[in-house]
Amino acid sequence: MDLFDKCVDRTKTWSIKWDPDYMIERFGTADLLPFNHAEMDFECPQPIIDAIQQRSNHGIYGYTLVKPDYYDAIIQWYQIRHNIKFSREEILYSTGVIFSLLNVIQYFTNVGDEILIFTPIYRPLAEAVTDQARKLIMVPLSLEDRTYRMDLDQIESVLQTHSIKLIILCNPHNPVGRVWTRTELQGLGDLCLNHNVLIVSDEIHCDLVSKGHPYTSIAAISPELDSKTIVLSSMTKTFNTSGLKIANIFIKNPEIRVPFFHFFDKKFIYAPNIFGILGMQAAYNHCAPWVDLLTKYLDDNFRFVQDYITEHEMNIDLIPREGTPVIWLDFRNVPLAPNKVFQYLIKNAHIIPYDGRDFTANGEGFQRLSIGYPRKILKEGLNRIRKALQQL
């Protein structure tokens, strides 16, 4: 049996996906397979489990220091894994990517300022803008030949006609699965340099890329672009440890880094979650081979979905996946109104997808599904969708 084929019962673990009472509260029934969260159902690698168990046996979980070992693990991971050189002073511990983004927006922009995003996009990234009374400017990603692209001409036009203070990038992009190429990032970066716009890049899925689609960080394009770049990331998606609440902020330019880090220190997060700290160190120091096996399994799962849809002649289209543990399914050829698909799948397929309409804009007619599951569960979900669509 493959390492990732093991099915683990999570129904009594307070899981936001699997808790029966929470499922009934939200959807009226617990007889559902949840594919709606970008969270995997694989046990995290043994070194993380061992590190947490060893520390938990101590019995005291008080205020925690962030020691040099923590930063050494991050620096080594990004250098070896992604060929990015960060120094200790360029990294700041945080409790989460969205929390970090909220603080970046709060510090670098003012109420009423315009912030640009590319849609469809993970809704909390957009809400980090609107919830703080900033103005959201949306540029849709263009879908051509089943591939989403940034329209640099349209972006330039928006930068010329608006007073954009900040661009929020998502790389790999959630939900459409694009891993932006160096050329694309350079093009966007040139526009930001020309118009003096700061880029903040959510790169939480950077390790979960498909073979043939290498991840390039916005922080690895050029020294010039580094002056306008902030990167947010975390180990939690890679190693399925979202409950450990840990992330990092990377800023190379000292002129913006030093005052922002001082501002962020005042947020009273100086004593972090000890299990997040030790879990991340174990992950980055010992679990690279596990990630290689995981990304292969996700690639195999994507091909499994692709083959299943083709074999059963399902009337849905699968957007090619380059990264993230999710897929983006096009239901626009299904004989249902786009605003009916989500509820139909819950009621008739007994699965929970993530409705494309909930990705801020430009997602109508699509559904996002996680593929971070043992193949047995993934197959059961596809069987349910197929049978439900046959009823139409």
372-391 tens-digit pLDDT = 999 999 999 999 999 999 99
| pLDDT band with cut points at 50, 70 and 90 for residue 231 | very high
Nearest to 237 by CA among 372, 72, 88, 74: 372
Maximum Cα interatomic distance, the chain, rounded to a whole number of Å = 61
pLDDT confidence of residue 266: 72
Nearest to 386 by CA among 355, 350, 358, 357: 350
pLDDT confidence of residue 267: 66
Distance CA 225, CA 80 (A): 22
Burial class from Cβ neighbours inside 10 Å (0-12, 13-18, 19+) for residue 60 reads exposed
User: With the CA atoms of 360, 364, 366 and 369 taken in that order, what torsion angle do they form, in degrees rounded to the nearest 10?
Assistant: 30
| Residue 13 clears pLDDT 80, i.e. is over it | yes
Q: Which fold is adopted by the domain 20-45+288-390?
A: Aspartate Aminotransferase, domain 1 (3.90.1150)
Candidate CATH numbers 3.90.1150.10, 3.40.640.10, 3.40.50.2300, 3.40.50.2000; the one for domain 60-286: 3.40.640.10
- Residue 153 tokens read as 């001409």
Share of the chain above pLDDT 90, in %: 95
For the residues 287-316, what does the mean pLDDT come to? Answer: 97
| pLDDT band with cut points at 50, 70 and 90 for residue 272 | confident
For the residues 332-353, what does the mean pLDDT come to? Answer: 96
For the residues 3-19, what does the mean pLDDT come to? Answer: 94
For the residues 258-280, what does the mean pLDDT come to? Answer: 86
Whole-number mean pLDDT of the chain?
96
| pLDDT band with cut points at 50, 70 and 90 for residue 1 | low
Does 60-286 match 20-45+288-390 at the fold level? Answer: no
Nearest to 28 by CA among 346, 382, 380: 346
pLDDT confidence of residue 259: 95
Write out pLDDT tens, residues 204-214. 999 999 999 99
| pLDDT band with cut points at 50, 70 and 90 for residue 269 | low
Nearest to 375 by CA among 367, 383, 363: 383
CB 177 within 8 A of CB 149: no
CB 27 within 8 A of CB 246: no
pTM metric for this prediction: 0.96
| Residue 271 clears pLDDT 80, i.e. is over it | no
Residue 88 CB: number of other CB atoms within 10 A?
A: 11
Write out pLDDT tens, residues 105-125. 999 999 999 999 999 999 999
Domain ranges of the chain: 20-45+288-390, 60-286
For the residues 62-76, what does the mean pLDDT come to? Answer: 94
